[in-house]
């Protein structure tokens, strides 16, 4: 075989099959993540069982990547990864330690609507037992009560606990409207001894 033909065959062989792999689908995750430097701060992940839907991560998000919205009695906590700056503020702010920064760095998805571009958690909202408006997650009500009782001044602990239980199930508007009827108005604390 002449040298020219050999060269020609070699050149043509380059075009007979792709020179690169289809990324990321054709590259195994263990290979993609095999050479990550220690301490790399990558995609944040959320533990849906720990998340209470409190919004703390939304308020601190430096990249405006986090959004929280209520619809059809569900609260959705969402991070849009294309906007995430991997600053870890959400991890620091989360009172339930529900967010952890991982060492995963790939956000290669076909388009912005792909589920891989988002970290989503959906939580059920309680409906107000008076007006029926969905207003808060059950987990948030329960955790707030627990924390309140851990830290509150013993002088007002029983009163606050009773008020909290009376107001449980009412949305903020109905609490305001019926505070006097339910005897939960905060003015009464003025007369509590030592407060
Ligand atoms: S701060 Fe934590 S618990 Fe609160 S909504 Fe964000 S992830 Fe959930
Ligand atoms: S890592 Fe930073 S930018 Fe990304 S979601 Fe958390 S707070 Fe927002």
Following DSSP, what letter does each residue of 92-127 receive, concatenated?
HH-TT--EEE-S------SSTTSGGGEEEEEEEEEE
Does the C-beta of 89 come closer than 6 Å to ligand 2? Answer: yes
Does the C-beta of 65 come closer than 6 Å to ligand 2? Answer: yes
Q: Give the full edge-to-edge strand order of the sheet including 74-80.
A: 66-71, 74-80, 118-127, 134-137
* pTM of this structure: 0.78
- φ, ψ (nearest 5 deg) of residue 173: -65, -45
Res 195: pLDDT: 47
The pLDDT tens digits for 138-193 are 999 999 999 999 989 898 899 889 988 888 899 999 988 888 888 887 766 666 55
Length of the chain: 195
CA of 50 to the centre of ligand 2 (A): 18
Does the C-beta of 43 come closer than 6 Å to ligand 2? Answer: no
Does the C-beta of 56 come closer than 6 Å to ligand 1? Answer: yes
107 — pLDDT class (breaks 50, 70, 90): confident
Does the C-beta of 90 come closer than 6 Å to ligand 2? Answer: yes
Q: Which range has the worst mean pLDDT, 35-39, 90-94, 171-175?
A: 35-39
Does the C-beta of 139 come closer than 6 Å to ligand 2? Answer: no
Identify which of 81, 105, 173 has the alpha carbon closest to the alpha carbon of residue 133: 173
Our mutation pick for probing the ligand 1 site, out of 65, 98, 120, 144, counting the most ligand atoms within 8 A of Cβ, is 98
Report how far residue 156's alpha carbon sits from residue 191's, in angstroms, rounded to the nearest whole number.
11
Which ligand 1 atom sits closest to the C-alpha of 96?
Answer: 3
Report how far residue 143's alpha carbon sits from residue 141's, in angstroms, rounded to the nearest whole number.
6
Give me the chain's average pLDDT, please. 88
Res 194: pLDDT: 52
Domains in the chain with CATH codes: 38-127 (3.30.70.3270), 136-186 (no CATH)
Spatial neighbors of 96 by CB under 8 A, at least 6 apart, are 50, 51, 52, 54, 143
My answer on whether omega of the bond before 24 falls inside 30° of 0, hence cis, is yes
């Amino acid at each position: 075989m002449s040298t020219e033909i050999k060269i020609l065959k070699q050149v043509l062989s380059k075009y007979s099959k792709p020179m690169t792999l289809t990324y990321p689908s054709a590259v195994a995750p263990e290979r993609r993540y095999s050479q990550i430097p220690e301490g790399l701060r990558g995609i944040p992940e959320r533990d849906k069982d720990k998340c209470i839907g409190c919004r703390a991560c939304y308020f601190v998000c430096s990249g405006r990547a986090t959004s929280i919205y209520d619809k059809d009695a569900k609260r959705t906590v969402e991070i849009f990864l294309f906007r995430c700056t991997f600053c870890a503020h959400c991890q620091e702010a989360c009172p339930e330690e529900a967010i952890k920064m991982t060492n995963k760095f790939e956000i290669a998805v076909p388009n912005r609507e792909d589920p891989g571009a988002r970290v989503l958690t959906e939580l059920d909202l309680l409906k107000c037992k008076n007006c029926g408006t969905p207003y808060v997650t059950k987990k948030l009500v329960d955790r707030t009560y627990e924390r309140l009782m851990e830290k509150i001044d013993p002088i007002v602990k029983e009163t606050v606990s009773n008020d909290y239980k009376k107001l449980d199930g009412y949305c903020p508007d109905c609490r305001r409207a019926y505070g006097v009827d339910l005897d939960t108005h905060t003015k009464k604390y003025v007369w509590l001894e030592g407060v």
